[in-house]
A = this chain, B = another copy of it.
Amino acid sequence: MAKKNQKMVSEITAMDVDFAQWYTDIVKKAELISYTSVKGCMVIRPYGYAIWERMQQILDTRFKETGHENVNMPMFIPESLLQKEKDHVEGFAPEVAWVTYGGSEKLEERLCVRPTSETLFCDHYADIIHSYRDLPKLYNQWVSVVRWEKTTRPFLRSREFLWQEGHTIHATAEEAMEETVRMLNIYAEFCEKSLAMPVVKGQKTESDKFAGAVSTYAIEAMMHDGKALQAGTSHYFGDGFAKAFRIQFAGKDNKLTYPHQTSWGVTTRLIGAVIMTHGDDNGLVLPPAVAPIQAVIVPIAQHKQGVLEKAEELYEALREKGIRVKLDDSDNTPGWKFAQYEMKGVPVRIEIGPKDIENHQCVVATRYNGEKQTVALDTAYAALCDMVAELLEQKIPAGMFAKALENRRNKTYVCTSMDEITKALEEHGDGFVEAMWCGDEACEDQVKEKTGVGSRCMPLEQRHISDTCVCCGKPAKHMVLWGKAY
């Protein structure tokens, strides 16, 4: 067993040696996914899917609290429907999968497998919205979508991925804009509180917005290696889709008006974000809110009298407290178990052995910082339960968030010239660059071409860094967050 332990640990590539390989090792070794015979598609295994289920539950509750209802649209979109909004079809048609046969019969019109569902929702809105009384509609669906990517990576970019897509329609532009920002804030709050992952809220530049949107907002997170990951988006559509799909409603004055729309989504990519934000050379590090197992009890010398009984008592006490706890009484060695649950990112490990029992104590280790504490055991284990609950609810998420924020601070470079950007990246490695921009797409392209970092977003919290565009020297309009993206 000791051998197996060593083998398992040695098989993970160190982060600093090869971050990409480290990532791939973790998704496989922590049993999050399996590759399949279907190129670019993966099996999400029980441990990976349980993380997604936790994310779904937290987000779904927030969506419902804010008045949204779940629905389910077909997965197929007839080609003619996809083509109704010009920008939208241009953006998506090159990367969709086409169904051309049903059984042995060729279809009269080919159908694409949804890459996103704006067109289907619009088709439905046109059917059900007639009066101001029918508005707003606040819809969401949990489904999978397909985009025919050339290069794929588990969770980060796959041909099929799971997501939720919110779609709402409102009587006024103001309401729709409020909704766009509300959902961006809910995503940010979810990432920061439940995933312990700091994010920057911002608006995408024109060149980077969603196909068919008036404006796109996003949350951008920094991964451990200094690269950026877009963790969620929220789009404001104005009435463009409504016009293309002839969705109109009669107002109180009986005049026909076009309603305003939004859409917003997060995906299983968030699992990749969690891995790359918090993981280390021992494997995954999970935020307690989405950890399938929050605490694991590892008995030491479990063959000795009283050890397993005591371990079971702790298990029962923690379970009663509402903690997702596991007791591993398998015949693997404690060392193997330590490595295994570290690999799986379980936030808290509790060790209990004969000496601990003698001293009425146990040992509590926290995964994200490796700290160990000895805890006295009172008769009902109340002190232990309270301490573990406090770790899971407060100390660990706060500590993980602070650690990630520290990484982001260390790798954020404020620059006022192209040379400064190049120098900062060369000296400190990949990171976020904060620099001013004139608003001209040519400058945006040039920054990317010359320094390698593209515009991630124009942060909602704008700061004044300098008066002029970092590229052309003309008057600056926006502070932009630049970075290399996943």
The residue of chain B having its C-beta at the shortest distance from the C-beta of A108 within the complex is B39
Number of copies of chain A assembled together: 2
List residues of A (85-140) whose CB comes within 8 Å of B's CBs. Answer: 93-104, 110-111, 113, 120, 123-124, 127-128, 139
Residue in chain B with minimal CB distance to A45: B71
Please tell me which one of the listed residues B43, B80, B127, B128 contacts residue A72 in the complex, with CB atoms under 8 A apart: B43
A3-11, A46-54, A296-304: which lies at the B interface?
Answer: A46-54
Cα separation A82 to B435 with both chains bound (whole Å): 53
Q: Is the CB of B96 within 8 A of A103?
A: yes
| A17 interfacial contact with B, CB 8 Å | no
Task: Name the interface size band of chain A.
Answer: 35 or more
Query: Are the C-beta atoms of B144 and A75 separated by less than 8 Å?
Result: yes
Tell yes or no: A322 within 8 A of B by CB. no
A38 CB–B CB distance under 8 Å: yes
Q: Could you say which residues of chain B place their CB within 8 Å of the CB of A77?
A: 38
Q: Does A41 lie at the interface of the complex (its beta carbon under 8 Å from any beta carbon of B)?
A: yes
Complex interface residues of chain A between 1 and 54 (CB less than 8 A to chain B): 34-38, 41-46, 49-50, 52-53
Known: A36-B124, A37-B123. Contact between A43 and B71, CB under 8 A? yes
Q: Say how far A75's CB is from chain B's closest CB, in angstroms.
A: 6
Closest-CB distance, A277 to chain B (whole angstroms)? 22
Contact assessment for B38 and A78 in the assembled complex, using a CB-CB cutoff below 8 Å: yes
Q: Which of B44, B104, B148 contacts A102 (CB 8 A)?
A: B148
Q: How far, in whole Å, are A207 and B148 apart by their CA atoms in the complex?
A: 40
A111 cross-chain contacts in B, Cβ below 8 A: 38, 97
Give 1 or 0 for each of A159-183: 1 = CB within 8 Å of chain B CB. Answer: 1101000000000000000000000
B72 touches A139 (CB 8 A): no
Question: What is the minimal beta-carbon distance from A206 to any residue of chain B, in angstroms?
Answer: 24
For residue A81, CB closer than 8 A to chain B, the reply is yes
A146 contacts which of B37, B75, B120, B144 (Cβ < 8 Å)?
B75
Per-residue contact bits, chain A 49-81, to B (CB 8 Å; 1 contact, 0 not): 110110000000000000001111111111011
How distant is A151 from chain B, measured CB to nearest CB, in Å?
13
A124 to B143 Cα, complex, angstroms: 22
Interface residues of A (CB under 8 A from B): 34-38, 41-46, 49-50, 52-53, 69-78, 80-81, 93-104, 110-111, 113, 120, 123-124, 127-128, 139, 143-144, 146, 148, 159-160, 162
Known interface pairs A95-B103, A97-B111, A101-B110; 10 further A-B residue pairs with C-beta atoms within 8 A, sorted by A's residue number = A36-B120, A38-B78, A52-B72, A53-B70, A97-B101, A98-B101, A100-B100, A100-B101, A103-B148, A143-B144
